Amino acid sequence: MEPRPLDWAAGPLVWVDCEMTGLDPRTDKILEIAVLITNGDLELVDGGISYIIRTDKEVLDKMGDWCQTTHGASGLTEACIESPYTKDFVQQQVLSYIKKWIPKERLGVLAGNSVHMDRMFLAQEMPDILEHLHYR
C-alpha cells in the first residue's frame, strides 16, 4: 500500500535540525538541515532528508572558535566547501519533501530540540519553508 499524505487527524510534526556558522541569524548562515516527519504518535513517515549547503571558505573562516572546532572535527566544514547544493536548491527540496507528506499549508507543526533558534534561521534564510508550517 502506497503511503498517503498526512491530514489534520494524523497530527503531523515536522522535525527540523540545523547546523549554523554561529548563533546570530542576522549574520550567520545555515550549513546543514535535516528534516524528519512524524504523525502525532511520533511514527516516522520515512527516513527523512538531510542536506549540506555549499558555503564559501571565507564565510566558514569567520566562524567562532566553537564552530570552527566542532564543525571542523565532524567534517561539516569540508563538506560545506565540497557540497553541490545551494541554499535556494536546499530550500526547494525541503519544501517539496514537506509538501509531499503534508500538502496542506499551516497543517504541519514545526518541531525540534532547538526549534526556536532553527526557526529564526529559517525565517532569515528559508522563509518559504516556514510559510508552509505552523509554529504553535
Beta bridge partners of 52: 32
Is the pLDDT at 115 greater than 70, yes or no? yes
Total-model pTM: 0.94
Which pLDDT does position 2 carry in this prediction? 66
As annotated, the active-site residues are 135
Residue 17: inside a domain = yes
Residue 2: inside a domain = no
- Closest by CA to 55, choosing from 27, 24, 83, 13, is 83
Any idea what the CATH number is for the domain that residue 120 is in? 3.30.420.10
Residue 3: inside a domain = no
Domain containing residue 107: 8-132
Say if residues 74 and 107 touch (Cβ distance below 8 Å).
Answer: no
Residue 1: inside a domain = no
Residue 123: inside a domain = yes
Alpha-carbon gap, residue 81 to 59, rounded angstroms: 10
- pLDDT tens digit string along 45-59? 999 999 999 999 999
- pLDDT tens digit string along 11-49? 999 999 999 999 999 999 999 999 999 999 999 999 999
Count the neighbouring beta carbons within 10 Å of the beta carbon of residue 76: 19
Residue 94: inside a domain = yes
Which pLDDT does position 3 carry in this prediction? 77
Number of folded domains that form the chain: 1
Residue whose cell numbers read 526547494: 92
Which pLDDT does position 63 carry in this prediction? 97
| Cell representation of residue 64 | 567562532
- pLDDT tens digit string along 84-110? 999 999 999 999 999 999 999 999 999
Residue 102: inside a domain = yes
